[in-house]
Chains A and B, each alone.
Chain A
């Protein structure tokens, strides 16, 4: 027992060895520490080599080119400059080196127009070592200041990013920080390519962009709205020709823009689209055979589904056919059609139309749509007239393009397609379906009872659909805050372009008889837009009643009590 205890004690606290043995232990342990030291130094050395190696490659890839080339330019589809570089001379001074502040201030004030001698004196008397006097010195001023020979005044060569078109397309272009690193828009998403000195050619046409931006702006003012957006999409290629968001900002002074101005209502803002979804609802119904064109649906009384009651804006007490439901914009009719379509099918089509996913767009300012997680019967009904799902304007444009154009869903893009490029496309609707849908959209504009009459641009064959949605607020909908949208397709007989106009929170006006609905607010800008852009796009006005035009449309359906089809043409 004692032996065991002694052994145990020895294990924990061994008896002191003789000095020579102590020394030996210390030596062995020190050698061991030497090996650890070698390992640590080796690790640090390896890391240094690794860093130098990795960064040497990086420098070759980015810095090597960036050092020799300026940041690449951003051009529109015609090669017009949207973002470029400008060499600047910065004038600065070190106040502590200036010997005669008064003399310096007086002579500099004569050369620098936006300074007077008093404020220069204040600047040059500061107790710092750096004051900036001018950021954009002209060569003439530069020479004049050199002549003065004031000690303590210095020049620095710099390069500044400029956006010669100012506000136009600002949201798409984005901006750079003081180190010329992109912080928004194309400048951010293509930062690597731009900083390597390569140019980027966008799909935008700055002419169209200016027109749509101008017209939306006018309408915002007319209706005291808080903002708006406009999109022009080429449905054959998926190229976005214009994407405006208002209010906008001047990218040359990005820092001064507030968050609302920076917010991209065309690509990032998510909205319930309202009745413009009836275009999609109709297309799905026709495509899946859930409804025939001449099939009639009962819209006589409000429809109750779970906790909702669905009513029509202008109730009709007779069964309506599919084109009438679209032209009269009947919620009840759309709901009845949606019930025929069914939740599963509707969801599948929403998915095919890209409305459940984030936009595959080339800028960072996109959002994932807000869509129901479980697709109930009530969901199906509300989605049919554009509620319960929030998407962006560009989402809407590409979905409308599929439903009223070629039948293909094409990923929208902001980059100009090269000739020979075939865009990624997905067949969603047949030719027959889209032809019927287009014809109905034409009636929304051309028919006397249609809600989109004010969008009519004579001769240009505009079709479209209005959408008015109350904005969501906590606990329900805000009766007073509308988002009004118009989704237009033109020319309907030979579809090529989709135009979306959106006016955010318009207020009813005298000139609109107090209305702030899409037909009064979002539809009217379509006419001046189409009339201005059509010549630029090479589209000529046509005679609507010519047989060659009429046979391209499907017009054998009845609207109202008219015996003759579409006498209103």
Chain B
């Protein structure tokens, strides 16, 4: 393999990147491909497409995803910040475009079409916002009288306004959560933290009162009458611990979103609860490993940025899994790397790539904990 003294870009990358995280992400990609192979043909038949439709597309999406992930993981924080700033500007532009002239899919305008593939720009806005806002917060904490928190909040306001117009409540929630999480890490005064914790349920309640489809889903959850969730729960019934075997599951024949929003249920039925636990464990490992690596990261920016990216990744996975087992009301969220979907895959690749880049060990930039001499802002 590569020699430790190899100073080329790839060489440095190989010796500094966190191989545990990299390996976990690769494993998820392999598992995801297998699962889309299982659920894809059934769903494709259900909606009258060629049975290989989803598999072929998933494999096509994998190429840019892997490329993006590896390429991004080689970048330096400085480059990342610059790229994210430009990228976010472009994405916000695309999102506005999606509202103005995008195609409506299942009652929301979130998609733009690029070279024959439809893309959901808000999926990419999520990690990019995390980078830009982490930077602003770092400047606030370490710079001179720079009200970064206000800029971050303003940026959040713009993005949330667009998302609500689409409407995309799930993504809005993720953005709010990302912002809150970053503010928390950046040392938001405890009084505000407690206030936020108290205000959040009130916000949920308002959403429940004024957003009809939120009302519906929450009511369904408490009445226990959701058809999709019942099928998902049934898949645990038929699957048991060991599953009915690859390809033999039936839930995918009945659930319209089996290949994306309910792929966990397909896994439960065909591969069993033990496989689901293993998958959960893998996500858990990525989250905790990501947090630990963020703690050792370089400077406040890297810590906040990579921790919040890990949080986004983890929350999305947890929401998907928790809805599948009826712990929370159904929220159509994809399972990162596992669910079918180009934008989702690309976004997951970007997120993991960024985490890998931000948590690389940096020679000569080693952070000295609690060192009084450290002045920060040097990265």
Contact = CB atoms under 8 A, between A and B. Distances in A.
Interface string A137-172: 000000000000000000000000000000000000
Q: Choose among A17, A20, A30, A41 the residue with the greatest number of B CB atoms under 10 Å from its CB.
A: A30
A51 B291 contact: no
B304 A34 contact: no
Given A22-B186, A22-B300, A33-B307, A55 B237 contact: yes
Interface stretch (B54-62, B153-161, B255-263, B272-280): B272-280
A390 B355 CA distance: 74
A22 B142 contact: yes
Given A47-B325, A51-B236, A26 B287 contact: no
Interface string B214-251: 00000000000000000001001111110000000000
B303 A37 contact: no
A48 B185 contact: no
A16 B141 contact: yes
B87 interface: no
B237 A59 contact: yes
Given A24-B370, A47-B327, A14 B303 contact: no
Contacts of A129: 45, 48
Interface stretch (B64-72, B101-109, B356-364, B371-379): B371-379
Interface in B159-181: 181
A58 interface: yes
Interface string B178-202: 0001001111010100000000000
B283 interface: yes
B93 interface: no
A49 interface: yes
A85 interface: no
A19 interface: yes
Contacts of B299: 23
Nearest to A42: B284
Q: Choose among A12, A33, A34, A44 the residue with the greatest number of B CB atoms under 10 Å from its CB.
A: A44
A41 B189 contact: no
A13 B189 contact: yes
A49 B239 CA distance: 12
A26 B325 contact: no
Nearest to A24: B370
B295 interface: yes
B288 interface: yes
B83 interface: no
Contacts of A37: 284, 287-288, 291, 314
Contacts, number: 124
A25 B187 contact: yes
Contacts of A27: 295, 303
Given A40-B318, A55-B236, A19 B376 contact: yes
A327 to B, nearest CB: 58
Contact of A59 (B141, B240, B376): B240
Contacts of B48: 128-129
A51 B291 CA distance: 30
B36 interface: no
B191 A38 contact: no
Nearest to B243: A52
A354 B141 CA distance: 80
Contact of B280 (A12, A13, A14, A41): A41
Contact of A19 (B300, B307, B322): B300
Contacts of B281: 45
Interface residues of B, number: 53
Contact of B284 (A41, A51, A56, A63): A41
A267 to B, nearest CB: 29
Contacts of A58: 237
Interface in B291-309: 291-292, 294-295, 299-300, 303-304, 307
B345 interface: no
Interface string B5-29: 0000000000000000000000000
Given A51-B233, A51-B325, A56-B240, A17 B283 contact: no
Nearest to B376: A19
A148 B318 CA distance: 54
Nearest to B144: A16
A479 interface: no
Given A19-B141, A27-B295, A37-B291, A45 B277 contact: yes
A30 B291 contact: yes
Contact of B273 (A22, A24, A26, A49): A49
B300 A51 contact: no
Contacts of B191: 11-12
A40 B322 CA distance: 9
Contact of B311 (A11, A31, A33): A33
B321 interface: yes
A43 interface: yes
B184 A29 contact: yes
Given A19-B375, A33-B307, A48-B325, A55 B189 contact: no
A48 B280 contact: yes
A59 B294 CA distance: 45
B193 to A, nearest CB: 9
A31 B184 CA distance: 12
A20 B372 contact: yes
A43 B280 CA distance: 11
B198 to A, nearest CB: 16
Contacts of B181: 33
A128 B45 CA distance: 10
Given A33-B307, A37-B284, A44 B318 contact: yes
Contacts of A49: 273, 277
Contact of A48 (B184, B237, B273, B300): B273
A30 B369 CA distance: 15
Given A41-B287, A51-B325, A52-B272, A20 B374 contact: yes
Contact of B187 (A22, A33, A47): A22
Contacts of A26: 185-187, 300, 303-304
A20 B268 CA distance: 46
A332 B375 CA distance: 108
Nearest to A37: B287
Contacts of A47: 322, 325, 327
Contacts of A38: 284, 288
B275 to A, nearest CB: 10
5 contacts: A19-B374, A23-B369, A33-B307, A41-B280, A52-B239
Interface of A: 11-14, 16-17, 19-20, 22-27, 29-31, 33-34, 37-38, 40-41, 43-45, 47-49, 51-52, 55-56, 58-59, 63, 128-129
Given A23-B369, A33-B184, A44-B322, 15 more contacts: A12-B191, A19-B142, A20-B372, A22-B186, A22-B300, A26-B185, A26-B187, A29-B187, A30-B185, A41-B280, A41-B283, A44-B325, A45-B280, A51-B236, A59-B237
Interface of B: 45, 48, 141-142, 181, 184-187, 189, 191, 233, 236-241, 268, 272-273, 276-277, 280-281, 283-284, 287-288, 291-292, 294-295, 299-300, 303-304, 307, 311, 314, 318, 321-322, 325, 327, 369-372, 374-377
